[in-house]
Chain A
Amino acid sequence: MSVIPAARARGSALDAARAGEGRALVARLDPRSRVLLAVAFTGAVVLAESLSALSIALGVAIGLALLARLPWRLTLRRLLALEGFMLVVLALLPFTVPGRILAEPLGFGLSAEGLRQAAQIALRANAVAVALAALLGSLEVVALGRALARLGAPSRLVHLFLFTVRYIGVLEQEYGRLRLAMRARAFRPGPGLHCWTSLGHLFGMLLVRSLERAERIDAAMRCRGFTGRFHLLDDHGPERPGALDLGVGAASTAALLLVVGLGL
């Protein structure tokens, strides 16, 4: 098929479609490299203990985010959601972990070990979150699915992943429609049994509709000859990694070795 244009010479077509956006360095990387990099980075950050290593990791993650030219406003908003979730844990840790007491505000002991653990968790979570946003967040989901498939992830999992992405939006629309229908008949969440029964009905109905939709999708698949085996159209074969991918791979390996060697 010579008709497949040269525009999709590397990576997925979706990446090619984004080429017009003045490609950031991260966007030029093969999706597979990005997945591998994300896994290696996350592994290293989870294993690292010292606060200085974790601070460097956070710095690297922020560097990646700059290289990926992430929209900072949106990224900050996503991070805030994470911080909100962690805040409770982090605020409690210094008081609950036993150890050398630094201070005793209001009679509760504030331990040095707890403080250290809280700092570790905060650095770790943020470094991983920022790096994932930079490496994978800007990747089209379809391209991510393909990259996983090419890296040898089980095809059932890849398809499950792609189906989930495909239908979450549809379910959300269905939820939105039902919710709108409730509001149109003057439903307002409030205390009392009525509210809870209505919400129960809402989610029950959502479940029933999802099940029915799943049956219809199954029927549609069978109508097109599906007998339980997925065939991938992606026939570009495993392309060789480009110079950029090799370069980034070598650089990050060297950096990891340095971190381990220096025992940071």
Chain B
Amino acid sequence: MIRLEAVTFAYEPAHPVLERLDFHLAEGERVVLNGANGAGKTTVLHLMVGLVRPGSGRIVAFGRERRSEADFVEVRAQAGLLFQDADDQLFCPTVAEDVAFGPLNQGKSRAEARAIVHETLAALGLEELEQRVTHKLSGGQRRLVSLAAVLAMRPRALLLDEPTNALDEATRERLLAILDSLPLAMVVVSHDGEVRERLATRQVRLVNGRLE
């Protein structure tokens, strides 16, 4: 589905983060990606959806090479990225508006967007949060709602950046059960052993800018 070929990336030229990195996410696969802090795990996810561009190398996603911002608009609809900090992701005043943000951008009508909001929140058991104000949610609720916001775009793949970080036991369990039930390809950046056990079909480790 998504393939990185010999991708090099550096925030500062003297210290490249990724050096000729190859990675491939296949249909139905759940890859857990780990590595030391600052190894570039988040950067790998951001490269896949074009939030940062590689210094060299190719990115092929959903059957086409992607280069420009316009190319990636399409990729982002199909590969949903869940950010590390839910506060960055929930910027609309209410939960319903936030979940509807993606579908509306995809050109859905308001009625369709509402239907998607209901369906998505119901599927995750979050119906009662629909009219809540996003910044008054608890940390766990924020994480689940931001996942709903990503799923509302009906992606074919999920890119999750430390999804279980700073969650309590119950919410973590709930999130893992939800993720495990989804028939989507996933790349999960995580240090969490349980995430690896429950979800991974494959594991890779990022060391010195390459995958092992």
Contacts and interface: CB of A to CB of B under 8 A. Distances in A.
Interface string B170-198: 00000000000000000000000000000
A39 B159 CA distance: 48
B100 A233 contact: yes
A222 B93 CA distance: 18
Contacts of B104: 231, 233
A216 B46 CA distance: 11
B7 interface: no
B114 A1 contact: yes
B17 interface: no
A223 B133 contact: no
A16 B149 CA distance: 24
Contact of A222 (B76, B100, B114, B115): B76
Given A1-B114, A217-B91, A224-B149, A233 B96 contact: yes
Interface stretch (A50-58, A91-99, A163-171): A163-171
A223 to B, nearest CB: 5
Contacts of A224: 76, 101-102, 105, 149-150, 153
A226 B106 CA distance: 9
B110 interface: yes
A225 B73 contact: yes
Interface in A222-264: 222-227, 229, 231, 233, 235
B172 to A, nearest CB: 22
A24 B92 CA distance: 28
A10 B75 CA distance: 39
Nearest to B94: A142
Interface in B128-161: 131, 133-135, 149-150, 153
A14 B95 CA distance: 12
B36 interface: no
| Interface-central residue, A145, A213, A217, A233, by most chain B CB under 10 Å | A233
A166 B83 contact: no
B110 A166 contact: no
A162 interface: yes
Contact of B91 (A17, A141, A220, A229): A220
B153 to A, nearest CB: 6
B210 to A, nearest CB: 25
Given A224-B153, A225-B77, A233 B131 contact: no
A222 to B, nearest CB: 7
B85 interface: yes
Interface of B is mostly: helix
B11 to A, nearest CB: 13
B114 A223 contact: no
Interface string B69-105: 0000100110011010101110111101100111011
Contact of B110 (A3, A145, A213, A233): A233
B76 A14 contact: no
A82 B105 CA distance: 43
Contact of A141 (B89, B93, B101): B93
A223 B80 contact: yes
Nearest to A213: B88
Contacts of A235: 110-111, 114
B49 A223 contact: yes
A142 B93 CA distance: 6
Nearest to B115: A1
A134 B76 CA distance: 45
Given A223-B49, A224-B149, A14 B89 contact: no
Given A142-B133, A166-B93, A216-B85, 9 more contacts: A1-B118, A216-B83, A219-B46, A219-B51, A219-B83, A222-B76, A226-B101, A229-B105, A233-B100
Q: Which are the 10 A-B pairs with shortest beta-carbon distances?
A: A225-B105, A231-B104, A235-B110, A224-B102, A142-B93, A216-B88, A13-B131, A233-B100, A220-B89, A1-B114
23 contacts: A141-B93, A142-B133, A162-B92, A163-B91, A166-B91, A166-B134, A170-B135, A216-B83, A216-B88, A217-B91, A220-B81, A220-B89, A221-B101, A222-B51, A222-B76, A223-B80, A224-B102, A224-B105, A225-B106, A226-B101, A226-B105, A227-B105, A231-B110
